């Protein structure tokens, strides 16, 4: 192989390597929380899932400095979610908060799961949701909600705000 061909090939490899390295360095995962709300026969089970890195940030915002695996840290994340995820009964002239029971939280792979439930009879229409999870940690966070039960199959989403 000629020296000029070798230099051209080496130069091409370097350009491709730098381009791929630069692309992966700029790419990052977004901040989001996924919530599944499923009817189980006498209640709705509510499962929130967020990236472990976001849960660590939530723990810090909530005043924790222990590892996220610590029981106190997971409890802090669960209480954080409890304060920022509310179902609203919009009957009448005012919106009343519907009480959810927080069951607990756990880590699985790269996610933290927070579990809640709502004991109720099956509503004809699922109530409105006030979901502020992660907004005080990452204002551009997205939220995806899937609600399922007899006669209910809904997707709700809180989209990122456009940057100025």
Q: Are 73 and 149 part of one and the same domain?
A: yes
Of the candidates 13, 20, 105, 7, the one whose C-alpha atom is nearest the C-alpha of residue 55 is 105
Task: Tell me whether residue 164 is in a domain.
Answer: no
Q: Are 37 and 111 part of one and the same domain?
A: yes
pLDDT class of 26 with cuts at 50, 70, 90 = very low
Distance CA 160, CA 142 (A): 5
Q: Are 55 and 26 part of one and the same domain?
A: no
Per the document, the length of the chain is 164
Q: Beta partners for 98? A: 87
Alpha-carbon Rg of the chain, whole angstroms?
Answer: 22
Task: Tell me whether residue 6 is in a domain.
Answer: yes
Strand order from edge to edge, sheet including 101-108: 101-108, 111-119, 43-51, 32-39, 142-149, 152-158
Residue 18 burial (10 A CB sphere; 0-12, 13-18, 19+): exposed
State mean pLDDT over 103-110: 97
Task: Tell me whether residue 114 is in a domain.
Answer: yes
Task: Tell me whether residue 59 is in a domain.
Answer: yes
The model's pLDDT over 47-79, given as tens digits with 9 standing for 90+, comes to 999 999 999 999 999 999 999 999 999 999 999
**What average pLDDT does the chain have?**
85
The domain in which residue 8 lies consists of: 1-30
Q: Are 6 and 56 part of one and the same domain?
A: no
Task: Tell me whether residue 163 is in a domain.
Answer: no
Residue partners of 86: CB distance under 8 A and separation at least 6 = 97, 98, 100, 129, 130, 131
The two most distant CA atoms of the chain are separated, in Å, by: 84
Residue 81 has pLDDT above 70, yes or no: yes
Q: Are 18 and 37 part of one and the same domain?
A: no
| Structure tokens given for 121 | 């009879």
Q: Beta partners for 113? A: 49, 106
Q: Are 84 and 47 part of one and the same domain?
A: yes
Structural domains in the chain (count): 2
Torsion sign over Cα 134, 39, 112, 75: positive
Q: State the pTM of this model.
A: 0.79
CA end-to-end distance (rounded Å), the chain: 53
pLDDT class of 23 with cuts at 50, 70, 90 = very low
């Amino acid at each position: 192989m000629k020296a000029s061909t070798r230099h051209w090939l080496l130069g091409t490899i370097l350009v491709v390597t730098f381009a791929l390295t630069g692309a992966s360095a700029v790419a990052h995962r977004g901040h989001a929380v996924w919530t599944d709300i499923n009817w189980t026969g006498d209640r709705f089970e509510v499962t929130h899932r967020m990236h472990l890195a976001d849960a660590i940030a939530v723990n810090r915002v909530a005043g924790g400095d222990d590892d996220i695996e610590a029981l106190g840290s997971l409890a802090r994340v669960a209480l954080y979610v409890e304060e920022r995820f509310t179902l609203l009964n919009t009957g009448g002239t005012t919106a009343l908060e519907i009480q959810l029971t927080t069951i607990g939280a756990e880590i699985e792979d790269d996610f933290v799961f927070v579990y809640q439930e709502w004991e109720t009879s099956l509503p004809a229409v699922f109530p409105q949701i006030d979901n502020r999870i992660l907004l005080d940690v990452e204002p551009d966070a997205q939220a995806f909600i899937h609600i399922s039960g007899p006669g209910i199959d809904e997707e709700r989403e809180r989209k990122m705000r456009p940057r100025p």
